[in-house]
């Protein structure tokens, strides 16, 4: 059985942007924190930066 494919940097970046845009629409830009984006993605805020 093959190992699962790793997520590329481009795919990760796209997920972050899509999630951020959804949160901006829901919470507003000023009320959206990096921690909110990271939490939605299940990653640490450092990974979002």
pLDDT higher than threshold 80 for residue 32: yes
Domain hosting residue 13, numbered range: 9-48
SS3 content of the chain, % helix, strand, coil (to 5): 65, 0, 35
* Residue 24 domain-assigned (yes or no): yes
Instruction: Give the pTM.
Output: 0.81
Residue 25 has pLDDT above 80, yes or no: yes
Residue 17 lies in a domain: yes
Rounded mean pLDDT, 9-21: 96
Residue 19 falls inside a structural domain: yes
Q: Over 70: is that where the pLDDT of 5 sits?
A: no
CATH of residue 17: 1.10.10.60
What pLDDT is attached to residue 7?
Answer: 73
DSSP 49: -
Does some domain include residue 3? Answer: no
Q: How many structural domains does the chain have?
A: 1
Residue 31 within a domain:
yes
Establish if 25 belongs to a structural domain.
yes
Is residue 4 domain-resident?
A: no
């Amino acid at each position: 059985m093959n190992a699962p494919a790793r997520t590329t940097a481009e795919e990760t970046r796209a997920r972050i942007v899509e999630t951020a845009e959804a949160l901006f629409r829901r919470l507003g830009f000023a009320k959206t924190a990096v921690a909110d984006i990271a939490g939605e993605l299940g990653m640490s805020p450092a990974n979002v930066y």
